[in-house]
Amino acid sequence: MTPPDSEYGPDLNAASSQVRLPGDVPAARLDGINKSFPGVKALDNVSFDVRRGEVHALLGENGAGKSTLVKILAGLIPPDSGRILLDGSDVVFHGPRDAQRRGISHVPQEVQAVPDFSVGRNMLLGFEGPFDRKGKLSSKEREQTRDVLDRCGASFSESALSGQLSIPELRLAQISRTLLHPGDVIVLDEPNAALSENDAAAMLDRLRLLRDQQKAIIFVSHRLTEVLGIADRITVLRDGCAVGTFPRAELDKDKIVALMTKTSRLSDSNRPRLAAFHSPSVEATNGRALLEVDGLTREPNLVDVSFRLNAGQIVGMAGVQGSGHGHLLRAIAGVDGYERGQVAVRGHALHSGVVRGAYRAGIVLVPADRRASAIVSQLSVRANLTLPIHSIASRGGIRRIRKERQLAREHVEAFGIRPPNTEMLAGNLSGGNQQKLALARALVSKPDVLLLDEPTQGIDVAAKAEILALIRQLVQEHGFGVVVASSEFEELLAVADVIHVMSRGRLVETFPTEEADYERILHAALP
């Protein structure tokens, strides 16, 4: 469909006509795959293969079709047409179990775990013997799971309850699960999203080991530095079409971004204005901080954390997995209770563990687990945007549909949600677009204090910069306050005024952003 890109055309041909050694049959090959969803052509005649002993990265903007492609390989969705070949022979998958049996391991983009089971039990799901107990791991199982977790650099125990882990921790557990029983073809859909760089590095080391064991690895990611560090070949998708497959050596960051995006990006000047976004009532705070957190303690995740947030300020919370920065936001928002300490908005103390109270005081949280608690998958984008009760789009309990449409259109445009269809079910958006929707929704409710937990996980490079700029701009114009918890320090350096670093539940260091750099933050954050 897509004509070869003039700039990269020759390379593309070189890559695809590479001489094949005899017997060099790809471990897995997708040939001429088409897949449509109602209203969207998600994949248009895409071919893709992965060989043993290589890491093949799959890149593309949000909604380009990466997850759809790997889901087809993992047997989760059937293609409309096209062939799947394993070691050169055609296969048809009847469901994920089928694909697993044929040696395909898949780490999905969204974390999932049985919350009431321990990490170890979750890792072993589907592999347990007939007499295994739900509550307790046998010493052999314990050893097995501990070993993998250690090697992935997990800071939590195999007997920890999954429901109590943060999103980065769960993600690590999920990767470990796959590494426990790796198939011949390992598919990782954004495994490093929301992982700090050094946690991701441990994981990438494991992948290198697996590559050396002649596994075929497919790696989907938006973090280009890491991709360039590990990939042997790179395929770029754009709007459901394969732009090309390139050896790693031929690409650098800028080239990749150019290949991924062909749309003219919105610049600051022509970015649509959020007319419906009324400035929150940030009254004179009488010299007091907007948000004051004092001695907040919830063992073992939070120990004596104190900080201030002023109106018009963006505070960053940096941390690696297990440092408690996500837990801090949940405690402030009233999702989790705390044992000691106090949270006050404009001098008024809040009750521990009461979401409604925090919300009334103007605190809005964008949680990290978007699928479970940031959006309602079965509702349309428009309905999701108008859910918050303070939304202006209803009067006396009667919804004003035109107003809703207008508001939804504005936010879809401002946050670059694709496809720009306000009536689409939120659950059918791609992962990155769901994340954009979660952010947009939080802003609809006109927060005074906005808490963002790993806000840009899964959002593509270009959109990320735009969204961070948008948040900065809104903060400047409307004077609310933002706390961003992130494992991606670059993002904090780009957006925050002050960066606090957390480690093992404690606030260990504070930098004004001018004085902070990546190395210093990492040094402080490591436990």
Ligand X SMILES: Nc1ncnc2c1ncn2[C@@H]1O[C@H](COP(=O)(O)OP(=O)(O)OP(=O)(O)O)[C@@H](O)[C@H]1O
Rounded to the nearest whole angstrom, what is the least distance from the CB of residue 259 to another protein in the complex?
A: 11
Phi-psi region of 101 (alpha: psi -120 to 50; beta: other; left: phi over 0): alpha
- What is the spatial distance between Cα 432 and Cα 457, in angstroms, rounded to a whole number? 7
User: For ligand X, which residue of 244, 319, 367, 458 counts as binding (CB under 6 A)?
Assistant: 458
- What is the Rg, in whole angstroms, of the alpha carbon atoms belonging to the chain? 23
What is the rounded CA–CA span in Å between residue 503 and residue 13? Answer: 49
Stretch that binds Mg ion, among 107-115, 299-307, 357-365, 372-380 (CB under 5 A): 107-115
Per-residue contact flags (x/-) with another protein for residues 10 to 39, judged by CB under 8 A: ---------------------------xxx
Binding status of residue 456 toward ligand X by CB under 6 A: no
d(CA 227, CA 248): 9
The two most distant CA atoms of the chain are separated, in Å, by: 77
Query: Nearer to another protein by C-beta: 23 or 397?
Result: 397
By CB under 8 A, is residue 261 in contact with another protein? no
Neighbour tally for 378: CB within 10 Å: 11
Q: Is residue 380 within the footprint of ligand X (CB under 6 A)?
A: no
Pick the stretch among 46-54, 118-126, 197-205, 222-230 that binds another protein (CB under 8 A). 118-126
Please name the residue ranges forming H helices in 152-295: 167-180, 197-212, 224-230, 253-260
Residue pair 425/481 in contact by the 8 Å Cβ criterion:
no
Length of the chain equals: 527
> Considering only residues 428, 456, 457, 487, which one is a binding residue for another protein as defined by CB under 8 A?
428
Compute the CA torsion angle 73, 76, 78, 82 (nearest 10 deg).
-10
Q: Residues 26, 59, 109, 467: which binds Mg ion (CB under 5 A)?
A: 109
Alpha-carbon distance of 278 to 281, in angstroms, equals: 9
User: Whole-angstrom Cα distance, residue 55 to residue 62?
Assistant: 21
| Helix or strand holding residue 218 (H, E) | strand 216-220
Scanning 227-235, 264-272, 316-324, 514-522 for contacts with another protein by CB under 8 A, the matching segment is 264-272
Q: Which stretches of 87-196 are assigned E, i.e. beta strand?
A: 89-91, 104-107, 185-189
For 280, list phi and psi in degrees, rounded to 5: -70, 160
Choose the stretch contacting another protein; rule: CB under 8 A; options: 12-20, 165-173, 202-210, 356-364.
356-364
Residues 392-431 that bind Mg ion (CB under 5 A): 430-431
Using the contact rule CB under 5 A, the part of the chain among 59-67, 137-145, 308-316, 461-469 near Mg ion is 59-67
Q: Which stretch binds another protein (CB under 8 A): 95-103, 138-146, 300-308, 498-506?
A: 95-103
Q: Which one of residues 161, 180, 372, 494 is an interface residue with another protein (CB under 8 A)?
A: 372
Interface pick for ligand X out of 29, 56, 66, 327 (rule CB under 6 A): 66
Q: Which residues share a beta bridge with 502?
A: 507
* Residue 390 near which of Mg ion, another protein, ligand X, none (CB within 5-8 Å, type-dependent): another protein
> Side-chain half-sphere of 199: how many Cα atoms within 13 Å?
29
- C-alpha 279/C-alpha 412 separation (Å) is 19
Return d(Cα 494, Cα 131) in angstroms, integer: 52
Cβ nearer to another protein, comparing 63 with 322 = 63
Residues 109-128 that bind ligand X (CB under 6 A): 109
Among 62, 221, 422, 456, binds another protein (CB under 8 A): 422
CB neighbourhood size of 287 (10 A): 5
**Residue 198 is a binding residue for another protein (CB under 8 A):** no
Residue spans of alpha helices (H) in 188-306: 197-212, 224-230, 253-260
Applying CB under 8 A, does 392 fall inside the site for another protein? no
Residue written as token pair 């989907």: 220
**Residue 60 contacts ligand X per CB under 6 A:** yes
From the list 427, 430, 424, 422, the residue with the least C-alpha distance to 404 is 422
362 binds ligand X (CB under 6 A): no
Q: How far is the CB of 410 from ligand X (least distance, A)?
A: 20
**Partner from Mg ion, another protein, ligand X, none contacting 64, C-beta within 5 to 8 A by type:** ligand X
Yes or no: say if 39 and 280 are a contact pair by the CB < 8 Å rule. no
Please, which of residues 334-353 interact with another protein by CB under 8 A? 335
Positions in 10-29 near ligand X (CB under 6 A): none
CB of 359 to ligand X, least distance (A): 28
**Site for another protein (CB under 8 A): which residue of 53, 82, 96, 479?**
96
Taking the complex as a whole, how short is the minimal distance between the CB of residue 298 and ligand X, in angstroms?
Answer: 32
Is 67 a binding residue for Mg ion by CB under 5 A? The answer is yes
Tell me if 401 contacts another protein by CB under 8 A.
yes
Asked if residue 153 binds ligand X (CB under 6 A), the reply is: no
Binding mask 445-464 for another protein (x = CB under 8 A): x-------------------
Q: How far apart are alpha carbons 439 and 416 in whole angstroms? A: 11
Q: What is the rounded CA–CA span in Å between residue 95 and residue 16? A: 30
Q: How many residues bind ligand X (CB under 6 A)?
A: 22
Q: List the structure tokens of 442.
A: 């939080």
Q: Is 435 in the site for Mg ion (CB under 5 A)?
A: no
The minimum distance between CB 303 and another protein, in angstroms, equals 25
Binding site for ligand X (CB under 6 A): 37-38, 40, 42, 60, 62-68, 109, 419, 428-433, 458, 460
Binding site for Mg ion (CB under 5 A): 67, 109, 430-431
